[in-house]
Structure 1
Amino acid sequence: MTHVEVKSLDVILENEQRDGYCSGEVVSGHISLKLSETTTVKTIKILLKGNTQVSWVHKRSRFSEERKCLLLSKTLVATTDTRDLIFDSGTYEIPFDLQLPQSSLVSSFSGKNGCVYYMMQAVLKRPFHESQCVNRELRIVCHIDVSVPTLISPVSQTCKKMIGCWIFTSGPISLTASIERQGYCNGESIPIYALIENRSCCLVVPKAVIYQIQTYTAKGKTKSIKQLVASARGNPVASDTTSRWNGNPLKIPPVSPSILNSDILRLEYLLAGRPNCPERLLNSRRVTHLALREIADLYSYCSDTRCQKSRSATSSGDWYQWSWHEQSFFCEHELAIPHIYPSRHT
C-alpha cells in the first residue's frame, strides 16, 4: 500500500556529530514526520536493535550464527480507546530518549565474515495501512575503566631462538621487548624498548608490527583472519652484535575497538616484535622468525582522571587496553608483545 500522505519519516539524533555511545548513556533525538494531508495515526514508536552476525562458506558448507545484543522500544504516540489521533498536514518533531543498559555492550564492528550493528528504527502505524519504518545506524562503543593496575603497569617479555637445524645451527637470536603501559589511545604512538642480540651468522632486521585478529565462531567451527594494521622497521643488526630500541615509536592507526564479550565474534590486536633474517643469507627457503605470542585487549573509552593524565600528550580519547596471557614460544611469524583496542572521543 502506498504512503502518499507521508512525505518523509526520519530519525534525527540530538548530536549528529557524536561518534558513538557507551553503556548507561542516553540516546536522545526526535522523529521527524512530514505529512502532505490530514492523517489518522495509530502509534509512533522508536526502537533500538542490536545484533551480532557471522557467516562464511567452507567446502560448500555455510557456517552462520546470530546473536541479539540489544532490544529497546518506546511508544511515543498512541491512540486511546475513545479517540483517534488526527495529524494535520505539516511537519512534526516527536522527541525521544532511550537509556542504554549499564551492562557491557558489544562494540559496533564490520568485518569480512561478520558484523556487530545497532539500528535506530522509527515505526509509524496507521489504520488500514501497512506499518511504515525508517532505520538509521547507531555506533556503540564498549566502555572500560583502564585505571586498573594491570593496564597502567609496564610489560616486558624475552624470547630466544636458534637459527638453523641439527648440526647446522649458527647461534641464537634473542629479543627482549617492553612497553611502558598496557592502555593506549587511538592515534597515539607506543614507545617500544627492545634489546636485540644477534649471535647468529645472519643479518637481522628488527621490525614491530600491529595485527588485527578477527575470530568468528559458528556451529562449533572457528575462522580467523589476521590483518596487518601498522608497522615500523629498525636498523639492521649484524652478526655477533647487539642493538637497542630506546622508545622507538609505533603509531596506532584508527581501528575498531576490541571485542571480547561476544561468543561468536572476537576482535583482538597483537603487537609483535619480529627479528627478520633475510632469506638469501639462509641455506633454506624458509625464513626463521622469533615469536612470543601475547594477548591484550584494546578498550574504548576511559573517564578515570589518572588515565587522562597519563595520555595528556595526545588529543584522542580512545583507549587501548593490553591484557596479557602468556603462551609458549613458537617459531612461525613474529615475536608478539600485545593486542589492541580503540574507541571514540566523546
Structure 2
Amino acid sequence: MFESTFKNFSINFNALNERNTVSSGDILTGNITFKLTKETKISAITMKLIGKAHVHWSTSGGGGRKRRRHRRHFSAKLEFFDLKSVILKEDGALGGTTKLLPGTHVYPFTCQIPHGNFPTSFHGVHGKIDYVITVGISRPWHLSKDFLTELNFVNHINTNQPELWAPLSGHNSTTLCCLWCASGPIEFTATVEKKAFTPGETVKVICDISNASTRTATPKVKLLQKQSFFTHSGSRNIVDKTLTSQTGEPISTTSSDVHTEILIPIPPSAPLTISNCSILRVDYTIEASLCLSAAADVTVIFPIILYSIPTHNLLPQL
C-alpha cells in the first residue's frame, strides 16, 4: 500500500507575496517532502503545472404521456497551459529506477507560470477556473500516485485607464397615475465615485431625490454579481446573486432636493471580475433604486469591476 510506505507527503511553496497569490510570469520555488518507512524503488517523480477552465450544467424537461423527463447536459473546457517537468530522473544503472532509503526526503523545484492574459482563479455555481500543480510518483509494478495543490492565480488589470476612476452618474424619473389622476414627478439621480473597487472596500452611493408624488419613496442600494457560463456552441447559463444590500431613510411625500448617501460594503471574499475567458464571466453592478409602494421601482444601474492591487513580491524573480 502506498500510504503505508509514503508518509507526510507535502508540496511547499515559497510565498511570493503576503496574499500568497501568483500571476502571469511568476517564478515559483519550493520543495516536495515525504517520509519513507522502508527502502523503495522510484521510477520517476514528475511535476505538471496546468491552467484550465471548465463549465457544466444540465437541464431537464417533461414530455409524453408518461411524463418522461429527459436531462440535457452542457459543458465546455479550455486549457491555458500544460507544462511538465521531472523532479527525480530514472537511474539507468538500477534498471530505470532510483532506490531511496527509509527516512525523510526533500526535493526542490522551480517552475514558471507562462506569460499571458489568463483569467483569475474562480469556483462558481456551474464552473471553475483553476491552476493546479500535480506531483506524480511512479514506482515499478505500481500505479502512479498523484498529489495536487491549487494555486491562487490573480490576473492584474491595467489600472492606468482614466475611465476606471471617473465618477459614474445616472438619472431616472417616473410619474404615478391612478385612474385619471397623475401625481407629481419622482426624480432620482445616483452617483458612484468610481468604477473600479477592491474586495473589502466600501462603495459610497450619493442619491439626490425629489418626490412630488403622494407616496413614500425609500432608497435602496444592492451589489449584484452575475456569473455567466457558455459552451462553445453558444448555449449559456446565467446565475444572478445579490451579495449585499443597504436601505436608506424613507423620503416623505412632496419632498424636494433630498440628498442622502448610502454606504454598501463589498465582501472581502468577493471574487474578482472575470472578463477574459470565453466560457466563464463574472460581472458586478451597483443597483440604486427608489422603492415605491404598489409601483415599479425607479432604478439606476452602474457596472463596476472588482480588481486586485498588485502586491510586493517577497522574493526576487530569478
1:299 aligns with 307
Distance apart, 1:14 and its partner CA: 2.2
Gaps of 5+ in 2: 61-70, 313-318
Calculate the TM-score normalised by the size of structure 2. 0.84
Displacement of 1:166 in angstroms is 8.2
Q: Residues 171 and 19 from structure 1, CA distance in 2 versus in 1: closer, same or farther, beyond 3 angstroms?
A: farther
Query: Does 2:208 align with 1:195?
Result: yes
> CA offsets per residue over residues 215-272 of structure 1, 9 Å max, x none?
11124222111111111211111222132124x3221112011111111111111111
Which residue of structure 1 aligns with residue 12 of structure 2? 12
> How big is the shift at 1:7?
3.0
Q: How does 1:220-235 map to 2 (within 5 A)?
A: 220-235=234-249
Q: What is the 5 A alignment of 1:71-150?
A: 71-82=82-93, 84-150=97-163
Equivalent residue for 1:253, pick from 234, 243, 267: 267
Please state how far the C-alpha of 1:139 moved relative to its aligned partner.
Answer: 1.4
Aligned counterparts, 1:155-304, within 5 A = 155-164=168-177, 167=180, 169-218=182-231, 219-242=233-256, 243-246=258-261, 248-254=262-268, 255-278=270-293, 282=294, 287-302=295-310
Compared CA separation, residues 269 and 43, structure 1 to 2 (3 A) = same
Displacement of 1:93 in angstroms is 1.2
Q: Measure, in 2, the Cα distance between the counterparts of 1:91 and 1:208.
A: 57
The structure with more strand, counted as a fraction of residues = 2
Change (3 A) 1:66 1:176: same
Distance change (3 Å), C-alpha of 1:166 and 1:264 = farther
Matches of 1:171 and 1:28, distance apart in 2: 67
Q: Aligned AA for 2:13?
A: L
State the aligned residue count.
296
Q: Distance in 2 between matches of 1:48 and 1:169?
A: 66
Instruction: Give the stretch that moved more between structures: 257-266 or 168-177.
Output: 168-177
How far 1:168 sits from its partner (Å)? 5.2
CA displacement, residues 101-152 of structure 1 (integer Å, 9 cap, x when unaligned) = 2212211112222222222211112222221111122211221232321112
* 1:304-323 equivalence runs, <5 A: none
The structural deviation recorded for 1:8 is 4.2
2:158 partner SS: coil
* Residues 139-192 of structure 1: CA deviation (Å, up to 9, x unaligned): 112212323211122222222233348855434322211122222222121122
Q: Rg: which structure is higher?
A: 2
Residue 155 and residue 18 in structure 1: after superposition, are their counterparts in 2 closer, same or farther (change >3 A)?
closer
Question: Where does the alignment leave 5 or more consecutive residues of structure 1 unmatched?
Answer: 305-346
SS in 2 for 1:291: strand
Q: RMSD in angstroms over aligned alpha carbons?
A: 2.4
SS state at 2:164 partner: helix
Q: Give the drift of 1:291.
A: 2.9
Aligned counterpart, 1:61:
72
Aligned match of 1:27: 28
Percent of pairs with identical residues: 26
Is the 1:8–1:35 contact (alpha carbons within 8 Å) kept by the matching residues of 2? Answer: no
- SS of the residue corresponding to residue 297 of structure 2 reads coil
- Structure 1's consecutive aligned runs of 4 or more residues displaced over 6 angstroms after TM superposition are none
**Closer, same or farther in 2 for the Cα pair 1:75/1:167, shift >3 Å?**
farther
SS at 2:157 equivalent: coil
CA distance in 2, matches of 1:118, 1:167: 63
1:145 and 1:303 in contact (8 A); partners too: no
In structure 1, C-alpha distance between the alignment counterparts of 2:81 and 2:153, rounded to whole Å:
11
Q: TM-score, structure 1 length as denominator?
A: 0.78
Question: How many Å apart are 1:80 and its aligned residue?
Answer: 4.8
Are the equivalent residues in 2 in contact too, given 1:143–1:300 (CA < 8 A)?
A: yes
Q: CA deviation at 1:42?
A: 2.0
Distance of 1:303 and 1:181 partners within structure 2: 22
The one-letter code of the counterpart of 1:89 is P
